[in-house]
Chain A
Amino acid sequence: KQEVTQIPAALSVPEGENLVLNCSFTDSAIYNLQWFRQDPGKGLTSLLLIQSSQREQTSGRLNASLDKSSGRSTLYIAASQPGDSATYLCAVAGYSSASKIIFGSGTRLSIRP
């Protein structure tokens, strides 16, 4: 059974710092991995999707990498801003595109002005 873990559970950094969020998964037979952002009391907003054949994806100040063989992904946030404060979740889809999507428990990020 696929298990997804995110470490740390919470992180607080001063504005302007670059930071890395970590995600690991137990079964490397994944179809894709997706990073989401969630603001308190709201739904999830998709940030980046990495297909299993890809190594990384970039969008603005965000860069996500994927190492399937080691079961790891990282989300790199450059030049952090207070508006980046939110919970970040990673999720993996199983071996096909008609598979379940399993989530990690998230990292709660706080950017101090």
Chain B
Amino acid sequence: DVKVTQSSRYLVKRTGEKVFLECVQDMDHENMFWYRQDPGLGLRLIYFSYDVKMKEKGDIPEGYSVSREKKERFSLILESASTNQTSMYLCASSFQDRGLNTEAFFGQGTRLTVV
């Protein structure tokens, strides 16, 4: 079974803190994604990585950065957390097409509250 694991299920941080959200997948997927999900706004792509050390901005990258030093791990960093970053954060991963199933798989989500 594919497993995408996010380091925390719930997180509470203070305004101005630097926050790290970690995501690990065990299926050797090339692609990894970070989304945030807010009521009425759906899932919005923050950043996407298609290879180690490679990243692309999504629709809402402002206030976030990412790190992908190893293939299995994709970290989302909130440089200085703000209350408008309170949200559910979802990580996903998928294969690129090497004759393999390119289905995307998601982690269980991290509900971040910034106070």
Chain A residues within 8 Å of B, Cβ to Cβ: 31-32, 34, 36, 41-46, 49, 51, 89, 91, 93, 96-98, 100-106
Contacts and interface: CB of A to CB of B under 8 A. Distances in A.
B56 A100 contact: yes
B8 interface: no
5 contacts: A42-B108, A43-B108, A46-B105, A93-B102, A101-B45
A106 B51 CA distance: 29
Size class of the B contact interface (CB-based, 8 Å) = 20 to 34
A100 B56 CA distance: 9
Contacts of B92: 44, 101
A11 to B, nearest CB: 17
Given A51-B102, A100-B56, 12 more contacts: A31-B97, A36-B106, A43-B107, A91-B43, A93-B94, A97-B31, A97-B94, A98-B30, A98-B31, A98-B50, A101-B94, A105-B42
Interface in B26-59: 30-31, 33, 35, 40-43, 45, 48, 50-51, 56, 58
A46 B95 CA distance: 14
Given A100-B45, A101-B45, A91 B108 contact: no
Contacts of A96: 96-97
Nearest to A91: B104
